[in-house]
Chains A and B, each alone.
Chain A
């Protein structure tokens, strides 16, 4: 049945491609981020070249450089790239500037029920929910990108010692049960380094407590009881069970603590699982880890965080039609399987729920549940990086004990408001 369904979906995916492709280009040039995110892509490229006879050349850039290169190429309207992968917080910039080819309007892309609606929401501009940046609300909503790397943040725990936590109370109860610094074995590990690391970690807690950073008019509503409670829980309660020094921990430190059997629970991104936690070459906890949705807070909400990498076509590309063909091909159910087996992070429902694949990749179901939750995205504004830098400084200060949770939230809210004002969001 599953095979039939997958087959039907594969046919459906290729069926939406308009007939009569233009002549084959010599190659398609694709800008990608350097690192594990392209592992699956590299695994399927020989298959594409065999099937289609068009070479895809990957041009790899480190994370910050990729953004700069893309923006520079877009501003110059240079046909440097035919395809790109973009981190999802870049969509507000790329969408507002109109730098990408609308896939639905240009090629008649049809939505596929095997793809989680949140994936389409993420690739659409203006965003279909939440506040919309000034000047963007009147624009017609188009689909500009489709996920390739289904990154989403969820939760890991030692299933050999603990039950799967559903709520933050469960997490604390679990932590209490196993926390023993003398061993050392810690109940919870926090990725607490200043800036993006601590905000990736804190946002699911903040949202699960029912707090928000902005209302629907971009007014800062962070200074709330819910937000202070969330930060107190994060920087005081959870920290009680964390290894010393987590205020300077990034992803590598967090994954190491779990993989070496020194920590019982924490948030996790898929790439850290394949690279470290479930990598037999470095991990001592193979088969001992369980994966589940980000815990529910007093706000009653699971709030896993979205971190997808999206495939898109720059408007200046001279091979748009073939680039679109590549997107259809790479995101089809038929190709997502070898993509996943080759180390890629898939995003299709049928792939993430596949029993066989789940035996091999025990975190796929948690990913499917997180995308269906649906996963929360970072507020859709070009100013997010500033907001993250401000909040990331104060949350880190609270975690290090330099500021109280009240102080940290008050200062962050004030500085974010000032920034949004300067950015022209209100007078």
Chain B
């Protein structure tokens, strides 16, 4: 066991995967000498050479399209997108090529590409540096989408993503890069939880709170704060956003009767909508209240001085729990609101 930051854990996972398989190559802007703008690939070019840690020209579509060619050729490219907001130039290559080649070739061509995306806000950055674009990709068949919430998972899941023969979008909560945690580097991948599985982080009986990536830590704080008020919150870390591992969530909601989903991405058409609809379909008879979403607003990610309003924090999620519990909440008193009729 060692204490590693999130960033170092990903670095260690990348190193392991590169040692294990000479076909694993890293590609991206500034990932060589600089070690990436977040230093996640620090030292890897020095140790594995510029042919395996490839500083690319500044062209996301070019990076992704050439990764497709390398995968065709039997490589396992791991692409770094520098920031969430810069994935869009590569969008066409990801959704029209990476996601579909296996299907298009009746399974003959595999696309074992891992796309690392530092995502989410909270670091005071300028425009295009704080977005949560995951729903675009969960909507695309052929892609797996995961998000990690702690160093141990980060370490394991980056290796699982690289080992997967499917393309995996690996969303890294950039504002947690410096968070430390215990990492067992001797862990055997074959016995670790599967890449597609959700995880119950802490158990509770009154309400199920589902989060992923950067908001899992916040959700844990919420559970503690709610406990002070006598509300028992079960926190689930989704880990895999596509496919979603529904059984543990269903089991939890059958127990608690209430669902709250929190994410930083905008509300409309987001993962919260998918979870609310699916859980309603699967657990309708067990629900005591409508599922509640606590999300970013339907606005472009705002300038950093306003992001504290946009990104769900402890208080906004607690407020969502109050809504699910039928307690007085911020919607109380507003006409036409579930929150008001219940209070």
Q: Judge: A and B partners, yes or no.
A: no
Which B residues contact A (CB, under 8 angstroms)?
Answer: none
